[in-house]
Structure 1
């Protein structure tokens, strides 16, 4: 094959993978077909198969691209002599790449679970190796850190960098890059309290047996949706996990979609009531923000599976439910934005909103960690430093 034809073939393959990644993130892997991808690319369905044998192969190519570029960004400053420059170059490259690929940056985190086990293992090894490299860059700059603290701050920094893919807030490219880098700066420079014993949240085999049937079904559905993904779970699976006949499930929920919506409404309702109670007696904006941080961290850690489902399965909600839940989410974010603006005035609301989404994403990601050094207290302290409690001064080693 002539070089020009090979080049066109490679370009077409990359274009297909990118378009597919955007669709997978927007609609969910199981809600996208080969014909959908072909339509967006502007080719026929059969033409896809000249490049990829299956839809899963398209997903694998898209994830491979993300993981490869992630590693390249992390290594982009390896040739530099100064630890500050190596780390700063890597982080800036990651921020820029994530903003370039904002619509697909969460592909590996959520849709990667639909790859074959051996593919997941290969990608995980590559990704984990790059994360390890980034942690070592941080330790070069801050040798006083314990390794588990450096690991925690590295994960939190990556969560900040990925956060634009979790929301739709609008900000100019220059300001978005600056806002995310400022948050990363606060995370990398953070001082963490000494870790206390992490509160155990391991699920007991009999944990849900005393719940009423409806609550038991909801609890098991959330767990299974998180572990397998919405489309990989059936009503029969949920009923079996709850110890209830599949036919009896319909006494409580008309469909699996209704179960999913109930999980979202449960999360929203609990959050609204808790936030209202915590803010009612606050006497200053700083006190209110501190209480909001503590309450949100506690809820998210307590129900990490529910928080993950809330982020990863929204495309499977009915349109009416999705509209109502997004409106509730916007109201919650605006509560944060208003308090952060009062505590740290002088910033545009759109920039404050970007920082707020970054902080919320850090909580969701850390809540799923099994590392005993990742605790509610330490996560809340990290958020306080990100959002201006007590001080949001910019560390000098990231100046410029």
Structure 2
């Protein structure tokens, strides 16, 4: 677009000037798209259209879409690095240097609480930036990630040190898992359409985050030996291969030929099992919904109290998330990729699952408004999902179940 110069130039159209903040506009627009749709499903033309330029014009600022992603992730790391550094460096602001052990623990928790609130503020302020980080960071190559890996490690060390200082029984591995869980839940709350103002939302999230951080350490529950399992059908083999690809590259970034190759067959042969790539995705949502719904039904049917039911719900979901990471990751991210005709039915099942959790949470949290209960329930699933990815420790299921329970129950001191 041009502008008319009315200052004696005889109506000559001035050349379009590139806004000084065009690069920042591109980063913001791309982050929104990547967080919502995934890197693989977003084309350069779509990013350009979001900022009012052609796709190729993006390359004046970034040499490739991969370079744009690296910039977004680097900015998200820098944001959290700055926030946590300031929060944790403000050490002992309320400490007079004396006092007994109880006062010292209160000071430690207060220091940790300030850092939690500051981090929540950063996430609420830039949800797409952090959402892109959580979704796409694992796919970034080592060379592209090298500039900000030291900052990532510093962030994790700060949190682990602060958690260990306030709660000595929480070791570094558990602190890392709890950090991942909280960030996943907070970012999900930030990305969702919210009915809460920022101040009460921050207070609610901080209360639940502190409860997760302080949750008692649980011993690992012995897992039964599995000497045999039912062999997978050809259809199941294709679904598993597709899920692995969808998890790392997004539904839109994978073709049928690639799925066929990963499954040890040809792309055309897949059509004997599935009508389309979308049909594979629907099958994934069906399997995930059935597995989670069975756990909800059993928990509600077999529990002797609301507290018992919450424990069973949390343990059941944590087990599914750890056993089927790709399945849960894909179904968490790819709802917008479902065919329009299938989406209402799948959403009804998801709503029924959330309603089961909400009925239990409402009884346990009479202090909360219905909208607050719904938010905690909705974000309990990404809390587990984010920490489950890459976690293979024996105690992970127990820790994740405890984290989900603590998230719902809050910091009941």
- Return the offset for 1:23: 1.6
Question: TM-score scaled by structure 1?
Answer: 0.84
Deviates more, 1:341-350 or 1:274-283: 274-283
The residue number in structure 2 matching 1:176 is: 201
Distance in 1, matches of 2:111 and 2:155, equals 14
Query: For 2:246, which of 217, 225, 230 is the aligned residue?
Result: 225
The residue number in structure 1 matching 2:355 is: 334
- Return the offset for 1:31: 3.1
Q: Indicate how the Cα distance of structure 1 residues 9 and 64 shifts in structure 2: closer, same or farther if over 3 A, else same.
A: farther
Q: Indicate how the Cα distance of structure 1 residues 122 and 196 shifts in structure 2: closer, same or farther if over 3 A, else same.
A: farther
Distance in 2, matches of 1:152 and 1:20, equals 28
- Return the offset for 1:197: 6.1
Question: Does residue 260 of the first structure (1) align with residue 285 of the second (2)?
Answer: no
Distance in 2, matches of 1:325 and 1:144, equals 41
Q: Indicate how the Cα distance of structure 1 residues 166 and 128 shifts in structure 2: closer, same or farther if over 3 A, else same.
A: farther
The residue number in structure 2 matching 1:375 is: 396
The residue number in structure 2 matching 1:12 is: 22
The residue number in structure 2 matching 1:361 is: 382
Query: For 1:73, which of 69, 83, 108 is the aligned residue?
Result: 83
Contact 2:278 2:339 in 1 (8 A): yes
Q: Indicate how the Cα distance of structure 1 residues 245 and 12 shifts in structure 2: closer, same or farther if over 3 A, else same.
A: closer
* Structure 2: segments with no counterpart, 5+ residues: 1-17, 93-107
Question: Does residue 41 of the first structure (1) align with residue 51 of the second (2)?
Answer: yes
Deviates more, 1:104-113 or 1:131-140: 104-113
The residue number in structure 1 matching 2:96 is: none
- Return the offset for 1:18: 0.7
SS in 2 for 1:336: helix
Question: Does residue 60 of the first structure (1) align with residue 67 of the second (2)?
Answer: no
Distance in 2, matches of 1:109 and 1:62, equals 11
Q: What does 1:1-400 align with in structure 2 at a 5 Å threshold?
A: 11-82=21-92, 83-113=108-138, 115-165=140-190, 167-195=192-220, 210-372=231-393, 374-388=395-409, 392-395=410-413
Question: TM-score scaled by structure 2?
Answer: 0.82
Distance in 1, matches of 2:91 and 2:150, equals 27
Distance in 2, matches of 1:225 and 1:200, equals 30
Distance in 2, matches of 1:272 and 1:41, equals 42
- Return the offset for 1:364: 1.2
Q: Indicate how the Cα distance of structure 1 residues 147 and 21 shifts in structure 2: closer, same or farther if over 3 A, else same.
A: closer
Contact 2:39 2:249 in 1 (8 A): no
* Structure 1: segments with no counterpart, 5+ residues: 1-7, 396-400
Output the aligned Cα RMSD.
Answer: 2.9
Give aligned pairs, total.
381
Contact 1:67 1:127 in 2 (8 A): yes
- Return the offset for 1:116: 4.3
Deviates more, 1:67-76 or 1:316-325: 316-325
Distance in 1, matches of 2:293 and 2:165, equals 42
Distance in 2, matches of 1:360 and 1:293, equals 9
